[in-house]
Structure 1
Amino acid sequence: MTVKSILDEKGRDVVTLGPDVTLADAIGLLAEKRIGAVVVTDGDGRILGILSERDIVRTIGQAGAQALDLRVSGAMTAKVTTCRETHTVNHVMEVMTRGRFRHLPVERNGRLDGIVSIGDVVKRRIEMVEREADQIREYIATA
């Protein structure tokens, strides 16, 4: 199973922000959409960074309440690990586990093409294991 199969089912819509939005506005957007991260892009859909709840907590911890007036570009993770739709669920799970992050933007031709979360990946992995178990049970029953 690949990232493409996840995106084909859940869609390719991604909540994005520009780098000059304030942290307060970004927090409001995360709360409104009930999501844990937002991808920071330029006007052409190129990924500039990702802003997660962890980034926000770290920034507020360092700067205090004044952090809310800072620009997203000052709080985001600028070195973004991405994947492609051809990557497997197992590969993406390994990358996310090793990097200790829960959101992985999907990139195609240098532009944002979707996003997968650890929840998406775990759901697909469980489906794969259940399907394999069903196939083994069926094989045993017919043997």
Structure 2
Amino acid sequence: MKVSEILKSKGPHVYSIGEDRIVRVAIDMMHRNHIGSLVILNISGELTGIITERDILELCVKYPDNFQSLIIKNVMSKQTIIAEPNDDIDYIEMVMTSEFIRHVPVVENHKLVGLVSIGDVVKAQSKIIQYENKYLRDYINGVRG
């Protein structure tokens, strides 16, 4: 299964925030939308990074008195690992697991086209396993179709 198939089922909407905003705005957006990350875009709309719940928790510890007023550009994860629509989900799962990340922006022709979470990957893999199990059960039971 490809990343593009996950995006088809979940839709292309990605929550994003400008890199010039403050962390408090990011916290509010994440809380309001029940999401674990925001993609960071520059003034031209280009992907420049990502900020996650884990990043914000780390800021709480490092800067307990003023973390909410920090500028996102200065605290975001800049070396963002990205996926492409044609990437295989097994590969993306391996990268996410080895790099300890839960959210990967999906880029095509230098344009942000979606975001895949570890939950999306697990859900997709579960569907594949269920389909394969059904196919094998049908085969064993002599059901042809």
The TM-score, its normalising length taken from structure 1, stands at: 0.96
Deviations along 1:107-138, one digit per CA (max 9) or x if unpaired, are 01112110011111000101101111111111
What residue number does 1:88 align with? 88
Deviations along 1:72-112, one digit per CA (max 9) or x if unpaired, are 11221000000001011111111110111110100011121
- Name the amino acid aligned to 1:31: H
The TM-score, its normalising length taken from structure 2, stands at: 0.95
Structure 2 unaligned regions, length at least 5: none
User: Aligned residue pairs: how many?
Assistant: 143
User: 2:112 aligned with 1:112, yes or no?
Assistant: yes
Name the Cα RMSD after superposition. Answer: 1.1
The SS at the match of 2:63 is helix
Q: Give every structure 1 segment of 4 or more consecutive aligned residues whose post-TM-superposition deviation is greater than 4 Å.
A: none
- Range 57-66 or range 30-39, more displaced: 57-66
Contact kept? 1:85, 1:106, Cα under 8 Å: yes
- Name the amino acid aligned to 2:28: G
The SS at the match of 1:64 is coil
In structure 2, how many angstroms separate the alpha carbons of the residues matched to 1:20 and 1:65? 20
Q: Percent identity?
A: 31
- Name the amino acid aligned to 1:109: N
In structure 1, how many angstroms separate the alpha carbons of the residues matched to 2:75 and 2:113? 23
- Name the amino acid aligned to 1:85: P
What residue number does 2:76 align with? 76
Displacement, 1:42? 1.7
Displacement, 1:67? 1.3
Contact kept? 1:37, 1:50, Cα under 8 Å: yes
In structure 1, how many angstroms separate the alpha carbons of the residues matched to 2:127 and 2:107? 25
Structure (1 or 2) with the greater helix fraction: 1
